Chain A
Amino acid sequence: MAQTTRHYLLMYINGERVEVRGEEIFLDLATFLRRRRGLTGTKVVCAEGDCGACTVLIGRYQESQNLGLSYLHFEAINSCIAFLHALDLSHVITIEGIPDNGRLHAVQESFIKNHAAQCGYCTPGFICSIVGMVDALKGEGHRSISMKNMQSYLSGNLCRCTGHAPILHAASELNISKIARLSERYHDAHILNDFAANAPIPVDIEFGDQHLYLPVDLNEALKLKAEFPDIKMIAGATDLGVLINKDRYVPKALLSLQNVLEQYKVQDRHEDRNEFFEIGTRVTINRVEKIIGQAFPEFSKLLHFFASHQIKNMATLGGNLANASPVGDTIPFLMVAEAEIELASVRGRRSMNVNEFFLDYKKLNLAPDEIITGIKLAKPTKPTDSKDQFRLYKVSGRKDLDIATVTMAARFTIKDGIFEKFSLALGGVAPTVVRQRAIESFMQKKPWRPDTFIQASEMLATSIQPISDVRGSAEYRLLLCQNLLLKMGDVRPKWARHGGAVP
């Protein structure tokens, strides 16, 4: 097929075809919808993906192709930090597209009846999230909505008026078997054909001093990265969006693998007798949570609190690694799991243990021409192997959708009550996530006994020097890390050791 170049992004909005060109490709979706398309039902409050007022639904052609679907599956995202350049070949549904031919959607009717809207500012975002939840649950064969579902799908929306209870009530009353999914309502062969025709064409858009490249195969991407080492690689760009919105960063040249279809794959691989997950860089955290949940139930639980549903529909493991946050929600786990990062450049491919990847605050062990192409995660020898255990903790001011004060990941094997192997990684206590080698060696061959954990927790007082910031003081961080170790060992904190409860 003759490779031409595409100089525009192709999207659909509420069923309408839109070619995005020029300056607009660098706009965030919310601004584009509100100021260029007159779709002001989508609100912007925080402009950092933390309140959900800007929630819209997107169906991604690339993802549906990889999942082998013959339709688009619509998922909630934060439009305020989703840039148009990250949404090529997507169909966007906004609150204006939720009613069906002028008839209100069941979610809207339930909101009206149950006083789930007061001032109305968060309402369109909440309704989009709930519509996305209904679509997803129906797709998975559910017949009703549980409290757990709501807590998971609606964690990224904030309401200041209602106290959320009326919203939960409105959602819980839905009879999802009677609701038509957006994927059915907006199913249109013409749209899919249009996307299919455009998917193999690389995108190259220049506007002023800004440049966007969306190559369709990895080698093209590597060539670009070799030619322009300063080019900014983007994955879900959930953090980049915040930086741009808050005037802290303006990238000039962007390169994304979003149209490299193989990057959406999660593959089971065998090498010798070991089994691996090989996770492409375009696999969203929500998909990771589903796919590897069985093998790593603890990690799956952590991902549940990792971020909001909207963020997890954009964010990726690779993005989380490359962002190199000192807290790095997934990083402590990946470290103790000894995950391998797959790197590629025109010079060739290599893989690196994730423990070697972080050099200093936001500094990566990555050559200028290299790109992360995947994460390799060894499966536990047996999914139910109780010998190889993980314990993952995240403590933050609020339990959900809150950047952690500290994160902790431990992994150990135990035999006859004696630790054989012990790995420990802490986040939020240093410029990068750090392994605790001194404690790790201390724990070798130690019995699982309270004093082992107490001694280990006391070692932390000298092995970490956390800082004080908006999320907590240094003393609090240290105390948390110590207590998490005690919690893991089921050892009582000091104040509960003697005397205990008072009747």
Chain B
Amino acid sequence: MSVGENIPHDSAVSHATGKSVFIDDRPEVHGEVFVGIVTSSVAHGKIKKIDMKEALHHPDVLGIFRGRDFHKNTWGTIVEEQPLLADPIVSYMDEPILLIAVNDRKSLSTVRKLIKIDIEEIPSIFTIDEAVAAQKFIHAANPFVQGNVEENLKRSPHRLKGVFECGGQEHFYLENQASVAYPLENGQLEIHSSSQHPTETQHLVAHALGLRYCDVVSIVKRLGGGFGGKESQAAPFAAYAALVASKLRRPARCVLSKDEDMKITGKRHPFKIHYEIGFDDAGLLIALRVQLYSDGGAYTDLSPSILERAMFHLDGAYYIPNIEIKAAACRTNNHSNTAFRGFGAPQGNMVIESIMEDIAVYLKKDSFSVRRANCYGIKERNVTPYGQWVENNQLPFLFDELYKISAYEKRSQEIKDFNLEYSGKVRGISMTATKFGIAFTARFLNQANALVNVHADGTVQVSTGATEMGQGVNTKLAQIVADTFGISTELVRVMPTSTEKNHNTSPTAASSGADLNGAAVLEAATKIKQRLLSLGTTLSWTDVVKKAYFERISLGEYAHFKTPGLDFDKEIGKGRAFNYFTMGTAVTEVEIDEYTGQSKVLRVDILMDLGRSINPGIDRGQVIGAFAQAMGWVTTEKLVYDKARHLLSHSPTTYKIPSLQDTPPILNVSFIENHTNTVNVHASKAVGEPPFVLGLSVWTAIKRAIGVRFAGKVIPLQSPATGEQILGLFKKMSKET
């Protein structure tokens, strides 16, 4: 009933009235202190001496803390190797070294100037090339191999070789990293943080302070945006607040400014990719050899998993009979790069979409026909490089249908005509696809638990491990519960995520929030419903609940869910890595000003298979939001560093996310009917990350538009396609011709 309805976000009213409470909106309680961070002024070095005597005498300073003040100063989601506070080795510019506790945050700038940190510099590695030359790797993955690449490359009628680089991306969530820690009795702590992973926050705080998990409660009401940036990297800031709270026995708040946040925290991984592709006259792929390198930064963080997902998505929507994917994550002296919507998949996918454009140029074909010819088949040509079949494959339909509804053919002709007439502008059009594997590739994370409590008045409280960061997971959970009970969502409240109600939870990540927690919620609610059904079906909801209470029938339920059937074997690189795929296609038309290199998206058409959407309005928001974010990544969002590795683009003045004017003037989003995804709750499909990959069509369209001036030439466009890069390419290539 309420599943499938387009109802508003459960926080829509409080958001629109400014009443939604985020971490720094919490009223300061008596005795509360603010925690400031002092960071490194070099990218790599050994701390020789810290002089904080003068700072400690500042009247507003209550304490200054170092790494050694933690019970355990190392953390890491995959490998415990990253210091909470660098001590004594610093490994990246602006790495946190000290915490200052003050009464008033306004004092921090003065206090910081009183501290002198003497660091002896150590040579640094900043680029992927330098790391590869020095063989500095965080992780080298087991390769994915299918068929015989060597032999088939040799016998390919055509071969293209290339190197492709894509840049990082700042999350730019609007709410910066933020935590408050409240000391409780018996050494317990209550942490409120803006985190996608309350359980990791709980565990890290416990490790850092030498507490047991049962002594730390970690609560997340909501996040002002996450996008992966608060999956692993929110936890250290909670540990900072917790350390100060426990040392001073006072509530402690740690909230970063945008500049601090951008300098300290990790970003999307930049990648450098070497490839050789073999194909036939029709453009059909024969063999592909790829070596991926990512810049993991100074510490492991989530880099191995992100690298793997890049490998899993290198095929994109296309069947590659012979393929070899090798990959390694480099260790550099950059901020430790981390999860960001897509989690490596966009970087992997970008390689194959770039290759598709190049093959089309090389064979003088339209890139759509090359893509369509290589698209995974329904009955054949449908095995991925890691051996999983592409089941329930909607890709051919999504390509063909969007070709029609976007008027691709007619517009291609119009664009050709436009480009023939000189106007100082060139246009390009391109269709790309997404086939996003849904499941954590770390198998154990594919579990969730839920608590559903029906109160005597018939209202319901639902708790899960999912965190609400704007994506609408709470709304979907409420809809699933309301639907199960046959009641209005008005009667259902989804409560703040708390580790005292839901334990050992997975991060809200990998687009899985509604899938995993929705399934758990459905199971819990169904169990309650079955008990109520025994009381007869003629009673109204409130009456049956009342009756159940007096009959001493339990009105609460807990359920645990795990995704069945996942058996990917990392050793051999084969198996069922994903529960299913979310698929879609997008056509983008761009225009480039030949004088300035500035690009503009004129029109976007998106077609997606989201199964039976639980809330089409929310899903639409996810699709458009993800697309826009990807559009920024491939165009204006450029991270700029100086020689010493200071991040120069550390605020919106210098780091440009898409603005309202960048919204494509024509933006059509449609979903296909597909009720067959029975492996997921209510036959829905995950939506958070898959449409991000569709933003690549902006980049491939730019690549095509530049090519207007250089017929038959492969355009060596890298990402992001800034005005500077585009204009530079025009100039460089016109010299070559």
Contact = CB atoms under 8 A, between A and B. Distances in A.
Contact of A120 (B15, B171, B628): B15
B16 A117 contact: yes
Contacts of B22: 43, 120-121
Contact of B624 (A124, A163, A470): A163
Given A120-B470, A476-B728, A401 B17 contact: no
B16 A112 contact: yes
A99 B17 CA distance: 8
Contact of B636 (A34, A398, A492): A398
Contacts of B59: none
B122 interface: no
> Which of A157, A161, A166 has most chain B Cβ within 10 Å?
A161
A39 to B, nearest CB: 8
A45, A154, A469 — most chain B CB neighbours (10 Å): A45
Most buried by A among B12, B171, B667: B12
Nearest to B6: A115
Interface string A153-178: 01101111111111110000000000
B487 to A, nearest CB: 21
B578 interface: no
Nearest to A35: B28
A461 B420 CA distance: 31
B8 interface: yes
B173 interface: yes
Contact of B15 (A117, A493, A494): A117
B32 to A, nearest CB: 12
Nearest to A492: B422
B420 A503 contact: yes
Nearest to B669: A165
Most chain A CB inside 10 Å of its own CB: which residue of B17, B175, B227, B667: B17
Contact of A483 (B17, B420, B426, B727): B727
Contact of B660 (A108, A151, A500): A151
Contacts of A127: 16
B19 interface: yes
A323 interface: no
A1 interface: no
B172 interface: yes
A32 to B, nearest CB: 12
A398 B659 contact: yes
Contacts of A331: none
A493 B595 contact: yes
Interface centre among A40, A53, A469 (most CB of B within 10 A): A40
Interface stretch (B45-53, B342-350, B645-653): B645-653
A41 B260 CA distance: 23
A402 interface: yes
B620 A115 contact: yes
Given A164-B663, A168-B663, A470-B649, A395 B18 contact: no
B135 interface: no
B443 interface: no
A95 interface: yes
A98 B731 CA distance: 52
A503 B413 CA distance: 9
B225 A395 contact: no
A45 B724 contact: no
B225 A161 contact: yes
B222 interface: yes
Nearest to B26: A40
24 contacts: A35-B28, A41-B19, A47-B258, A50-B651, A98-B17, A115-B617, A118-B470, A119-B225, A119-B470, A121-B175, A127-B16, A151-B660, A151-B661, A160-B225, A160-B657, A164-B663, A399-B600, A405-B724, A487-B596, A495-B730, A496-B594, A500-B420, A500-B422, A503-B416
Interface of A: 34-35, 38-43, 45-48, 50-51, 53, 94-96, 98-99, 104, 108-109, 111-113, 115, 117-124, 127, 147, 150-151, 154-155, 157-168, 242, 246-247, 395, 397-403, 405, 469-473, 475-476, 479-480, 483-484, 486-487, 490, 492-496, 499-503
